[in-house]
Amino acid sequence: MTSDGSWYVLIEQDDDVGYADGHDIYRWQLAAEHKARDKEHACAWARELLQTHLPTRRYYRADRPHIRRIYQLADHSWLVAIREGYHSQHFRLSVAQLVGTGKVAPAPEPPRPEKRRRLFG
Residue 10 phi/psi, 5-degree rounding, is: -110, 140
Instruction: Confirm whether pTM is higher than 0.75.
Output: no
Q: Which carries the bigger pLDDT value, residue 59 or residue 6?
A: 6
How far apart are alpha carbons 73 and 9 in whole angstroms? 15
Q: Which carries the bigger pLDDT value, residue 119 or residue 37?
A: 37
17-67: pLDDT as tens digits: 677 787 777 778 898 999 999 999 999 999 999 999 988 766 666 667 788
- Min mean pLDDT across 32-46, 67-81, 103-117 is at 103-117
Mean pLDDT of 14-18: 71
The closest of 88, 112, 108, 101 to 2, measured between CA atoms, is 101
Bridge partners, 9 (sequence order): 34, 95
**pLDDT score for 80:** 95
**What is the average pLDDT score of the chain?**
84
